[in-house]
Amino acid sequence: MNIAVYPGTFDPFTNGHKDLVQRAATNIFDKIYICVAENTKKDAIFSMAERIDLAKKSLAGIKNIEVIGFSGLLVDFAKELDAKVILRGLRVVSDFEYEFQMSSMNKKLNENIESIFLTPSESYAFLSSTLVKEIAELGGDISRFVSPEVKEALKAKYK
């Protein structure tokens, strides 16, 4: 079975994330674990439980995926899940530098893990969780960028 992990903080989960998962689940992998990271270095507006719940709701209907939380080293968690691939998205050139560094380090930590990078669909190339949060905080319309559940959750956070 061809299993991948797709890690991230997903604060919040966007339509860009969903697009990447949908394409990878349909065309490339038998199973994808969407791994919501407990990242203590970032100030998340949603708790880990909320981020997991919102990702599950955003991805409803995609059969070969599972959303789970994790902490610790991703390569160790991937090994526990019997995943051989780390799936990541690349939007802009600056993403590549960071992702290349992470990919190289992950390979040093576990030589059996591979990283695969997908570029977003053109309609989501500009989209980031940070931008979505900024627009939501300023009262802008984010309905094209996130699921209805994420939109309502952000609205509630920024009331």
Which residues are the active-site residues? 17, 42, 91, 129
Cα(115)–Cα(95) distance, integer angstroms:
14
Only one residue has tokens 């789970």, namely 68
CA distances from 122 to 10, 15, 68, 91 (A): 20, 12, 28, 10
Tell me the residue length of the chain.
159
- Given strand 85-89, what is the order of strands in its sheet? 65-70, 31-37, 3-8, 85-89, 114-118
